[in-house]
Amino acid sequence: MNRSSPPKQQTTTRNTTMWLLAALLLAFAPHTLRLPLAITTLCLLFGLWRFTIERRASLALPVPLLRMLLLAVSLTVVYFHYGTLLGREAGIALLATMLALKLLEMRSIRDYVVVIMLGYFLAVTLVLYNQTLPMAVYMIAVAFLLTATLIDLNLPRTRRQRFANMRLTAKLFIQAAPIMLILFFLFPRIPGPLWSLPEDAHSGTTGISDEMSMGTISNLSHSNEVAFRVAFDGDLIGNELSYWRGPVLWHTDGKQWTGGQASDRNSAVSYRPVGKPISYTVTLEPHNQKWLYALDLPAMAPAQTMINSNFQLVAQSKIKELKRYKMASYSEYITGPLSADETRRALQLPVDRNQRAVALGRQWQQQLREPEAIVAHALSHFNQQPFHYTMTPPLLGRHPVDEFLFSTQQGFCEHYAASFTVLMRAAGIPTRIVTGYQGGDFNPVGNYLIVRQRDAHAWAEVWLANRGWVRVDPTAAVAPQRVELGAETAFSELFNRRSTLQFENDFLSRNWLKLRYGWDSLNNGWNQWVIGYDSLKQSRLLTQFGIDSLKQMAAVMVAAIISLLMLLLALSTYRNRQQRDAISSAYHRFCEKLATIGIARQPHEGPVDFAKRVIEQRPDLEPQIAQINDLYIALKYRPRHTQQQIRHLQQQIRLLKL
């Protein structure tokens, strides 16, 4: 029998604090890669401080005055770094520091709960930068630990069972999973954003920048954010033509590609169009950069913009609000001659970097001589060598092009574009990289094309004597689906393509490849069904099930959740129904029998006391009562007993004549 503990203020223990600190550290860890060093140091310092206080009973929490001082310091540091306390980046820094500071005044249960809630918030900021499957798992792990802490706050202190909170959390998560799925798929999604996003909303990985290194564009491939939408005046153009031109990159240090000094003054559009222009209207999402996107090549510049020498549309100021502009483009063209300066820039290569690639390029130049032949050879090289197109390319080191061309051979579009450009420049062909978007999803409902961040692309342009700049997309040589069908379907198609597997002969690498393709297709499914699940997809999916209004959606959702909860309750009730064991039920009958003659067992009365009282009142029953009582106690409190003994007890009770 348990005793109640004396009523006292429920206090948290060191254990709970440790759980909390571990959970917060986990939530904070990925942010350290992005946050300024000073802020990271400050947060870790506060956390360590609390940790030390927990370890040593002699230390106390800092006095209020000191905490105020620390608050002032933290705010200053954040403001100093970002110039503001608002916006996404500064907001996260502020959240992290305030959370860390709160640890130094965390005392009551209320404080703990507030910290846990803020911790959940910190967990969700993790996925603002990275929406990959591993990050999802990581975020759920953080939420798991925080929930375990919350449970630890509410568990009785007397529990000796280790990790009791973890077990219960696991149970809650498993039971919550189906409800979460219902909410995820059925909760009516409103197309965002609800209001204009803060200035830095599109910084970081959420758009194409004017710099590129291997990995920057593949980072975007997980983002489902809309870059711009396009309505065509005439027919939709084919995917193979929809190259949306962005920054053009000339200069490389072997690893990074930048625009170099583009001569904006030479803005005369010096190309000869072939054929009819394509006209369309672009609605550009704010991307906090100066350039606008247009199809290769723009025929005109909207108001307050111009076309620079790279055939790139550039506005006078950064695009911070939704921008709508009418455009026309020529898909076929012949550009003019190259100046001496441009030729130098288009052939620039850093010394002592990627030397194997440079050597290969020179070898091709000597063997083939003709630029067209060299380009064709390079493309067939990408096509015939075991190159793979993947969203999750391995990290590359000091000589990224060499490593990619000769060892890893797994890359996203920027790997192919950069390597191709290095090879061509080595072979003496003026080449530059063009970044932008390729393809897009056609929305049949609104009759427009949606271009998303995951459609970000990089390709190359080579300068050929009689044609001028010619677009060459080396990615198309490796994964034609990327260009023909767009990024979304490319990976699932690629997985089915057997031909790429044929050159893999030995068993191990074949399976390794299968694993890699499996991972890619998993990522693709993830992108389509989790990351890419938005209001449009939702209405498309639910219409198939006959749910076509928000009202219906909400009704189905609520009904499904309520029935799941009821099911959970029913299952719990069913599973916990107590089946009295034979011994207890026999004794129960005995008590009931005695109750009929007015001797009822009191709830606080043990069997021995009860037997004593019965004998006191009915001395005539003494032998039977004593025997039943002894038998019962022997059976109940001794680990070993036989069926025969139980039957004996049952018989004795049956035979009891009152």
Partner 1 sequence: MKYLPPSIEHLASRLFTFERRSGNDRSDSIVLTRRRIYILPTYFGVLFSLLLMLLLIGSTNYNNSLGFVLTFLLASIGLVSIIHTYRNLLHLKIQAGKAEPAFCGAMATFSLQLENPEKLTRHNLRVRFKGDPAVANDINSNDSCEIKLSLPTTQRGWRTIERITIDTVYPLGLFRAWSHFTLPKACLVFPRPISGSPPPIGKASGSGNNRRQEGNNDFIGFRNYHPGDSPRHINWKAAAHSDELVTKLFGDNESNELWLAWDALPGLETETRLSQLCHWVIDAEQRGAQYGLKMPHITIPMGQGDGHQRRCLETLALFEKR
Q: Which of residues 536-565 bind partner 1 (CB under 8 A)?
A: 561, 565
Q: Measured between alpha carbons, how far is 57 from 67 in angstroms, rounded to an integer?
A: 20
Burial 306-326 (b: 16+ CB within 10 A, else e): ebbbbbbbbbeeebeeebebe
Is 413 a catalytic site residue? yes
Task: CB nearer to partner 1: give 192 or 336.
Answer: 192
**Torsion angles phi and psi, residue 469, rounded to 5:** -75, 125
Does position 575 bind partner 1 by CB under 8 A? yes
Q: Which of residues 71-110 bind partner 1 (CB under 8 A)?
A: 109-110
Is 388 a catalytic site residue? no
Bridge partners for 459 per DSSP: 434
CB of 132 to partner 1, least distance (A): 9
Q: Measured between alpha carbons, how far is 461 from 609 in angstroms, rounded to an integer?
A: 98
Task: CB nearer to partner 1: give 28 or 382.
Answer: 28
Task: CB nearer to partner 1: give 484 or 605.
Answer: 605
Q: Which of residues 305-364 bind partner 1 (CB under 8 A)?
A: none
Run of H or E including 658: none
CB of 117 to partner 1, least distance (A): 5
| Single residue of 10, 11, 543, 617 touching partner 1 by CB under 8 A | 10
Nearest to 193 by CA among 48, 89, 88, 275: 88
Is 473 a catalytic site residue? yes
Contacts of 329 (CB under 8 A, 6+ apart): 277, 278, 280, 294, 295, 296, 297, 298, 299
Does position 136 bind partner 1 by CB under 8 A? yes
CB of 569 to partner 1, least distance (A): 5
> Which DSSP string do the residues of 196-223 spell out, in sequence order?
PPPGGGG-TTSS--SEEETTHHHHHTT-
Does position 217 bind partner 1 by CB under 8 A? no
Does position 276 bind partner 1 by CB under 8 A? no
Task: CB nearer to partner 1: give 305 or 538.
Answer: 538
CB of 91 to partner 1, least distance (A): 10
CB of 510 to partner 1, least distance (A): 33
Point out the catalytic residue in the list 152, 413, 455, 520: 413
Does position 218 bind partner 1 by CB under 8 A? no
Q: If DSSP codes are grouped into helix, strand and coil, which group holds residue 653?
A: helix
Stretch that binds partner 1, among 62-70, 152-160, 347-355, 648-656 (CB under 8 A): 152-160
Does position 162 bind partner 1 by CB under 8 A? no
CB of 340 to partner 1, least distance (A): 47
Q: If DSSP codes are grouped into helix, strand and coil, which group holds residue 378?
A: helix
Contact 387, 478 (CB under 8 A): yes
Interface mask toward partner 1 for 513-532; x: CB under 8 A:
-----------------xxx
CB of 535 to partner 1, least distance (A): 9
Q: Which of residues 586-645 bind partner 1 (CB under 8 A)?
A: 602-604
Does position 282 bind partner 1 by CB under 8 A? no
| Single residue of 66, 134, 193, 518 touching partner 1 by CB under 8 A | 193
Q: Token digits for 147?
A: 């929930």
Does position 657 bind partner 1 by CB under 8 A? no
Q: Quick check: bond before 297 cis, omega within 30?
A: yes
Contact 214, 415 (CB under 8 A): yes
E strand spans, 409-455: 410-411, 431-438, 441-443, 448-452
- Indicate which residues carry an active-site annotation: 413, 457, 473
